[in-house]
Amino acid sequence: MTDAYVAVEGERVIEARARSPGTTRGELVFTTAYTGYEESLTDPSYEEQVLTFSYPLIGNYGVRADRFESDRVQPNAVVARELTDDVAEWLTDEGVPAVDHLDTREIVTEIRDEGAMKCGIAAGPDVTEQDALDELAQCKHMSDHTDIGKQVSVTEPEVHNPDGDGPRVALVDCGAKGSITDSLVERDAVVHRLPYDATAEDVADVDPDLLFISNGPGDPENFEEAGEVVEAYVGDLPLAGICLGQQVVANALGGETEKMEFGHRGVNQPVRDLRTDRVVMTTQNHGYTVADPGDKLNVTQVNVNDDTPEGLENDDLSIITRQYHPEANPGPNDSLDFFDDVLALAEE
């Protein structure tokens, strides 16, 4: 039964089955992950996007809240070949439109050929193709979401593990996955989670041993406040960044970032360390990348598939950043030692 429609750029409309009702719009992207759908669906980096799963069956091990990376489902809508009832009910409860019974292989191929594209979704018994087309017409490019950090960040400072004996970390939350905080707390760090628009004075109030810029959605150039904080403390504090955090650090230190054709999203992205020639598998979720690191950062790791920078460092300035997600969740866990390296900088 057709009771849902997906309209993509070019005004092509794909028929589908509604699994969670509603109308919405967003950038249509795909992930190659075949596990970890709970983590993906609660990852703030998917804000303002429509997430398509390339793996055909989503939901085959249920839904558990202890796997969530934030307190809500983050994508604007979900597309899959088949969603189980558990996932469909969860998305309905969250008010997130979802559709299935369509050819996701075709969608993924189109995104790979044409790049991530705007789309409109209409799902439910009374919707029409025009409803989806109307949503498409109102869809913005990701770079036009100039204040997207406000949608995913904490609004007030939070302290995690206040009695810890490890370094004090100022974590600028641009849309941080919960596992980043957990990974630092597991190593006994005291984590001060600050809003995305925190100022240099806000960081000074924490008196940190380390400045950490988190992952997040959208264009790194729209996170101007985080970049200003990096500029204020470079050379005075060790700096770390994950995903969007790497891009923000690069921009702040004279580098350049750019939009990728369709990004890296999944749990099977190979990364090669240029110093050891070792290849590890990583979890990733980003649509922008560092095009030019500038003259203050050295590229230490690259993506095996397209040679984009996956690791930037400067030993003299005590900077370590990663484009991928060392905290994983879901795995692989090949790069968890990143957090040990970062906290070692702070302890020094």
Fold annotation for 149-347: Rossmann fold (3.40.50)
> What pLDDT does residue 10 have?
92
Active site residue 119: no
Indicate the domain borders of the chain.
4-140, 149-347
The two beta strands, 168-172 and 210-213, are parallel
Q: How far apart are CA 94 and CA 321, in angstroms?
A: 33
Q: What's the predicted TM-score (pTM) here?
A: 0.97
> What pLDDT does residue 69 have?
98
Q: How far apart are CA 266 and CA 138, in angstroms?
A: 28
Q: How far apart are CA 287 and CA 271, in angstroms?
A: 17
Q: How far apart are CA 73 and CA 320, in angstroms?
A: 30
4-140: CATH, from 3.20.20.140, 1.10.1060.10, 3.50.30.20, 3.30.43.10: 3.50.30.20
Catalytic residue among 119, 135, 243, 264: 243
Active site residue 139: no
Amino acid of residue 14 = I
Helix (H) / strand (E) element for 284: namely strand 279-292
Please report, in tens digits, the pLDDT of each residue of the chain (348 residues total). Answer: 689 999 999 999 999 999 999 999 999 999 999 899 999 999 999 999 999 999 999 999 999 999 999 999 999 999 999 999 999 999 999 999 999 999 999 999 999 999 999 999 999 999 999 999 999 999 999 999 999 999 999 999 999 999 999 999 999 999 999 999 999 999 999 999 999 999 999 999 999 999 999 999 999 999 999 999 999 999 999 999 999 999 999 999 999 999 999 999 999 999 999 999 999 999 999 999 999 999 999 999 999 999 999 999 999 999 999 999 999 888 888 888 999 999 999 988
Beta-bridge partner residues of 295: none
Contact between 44 and 71 under an 8 Å Cβ cutoff? The reply is: no
Catalytic residue among 69, 225, 310, 327: 327
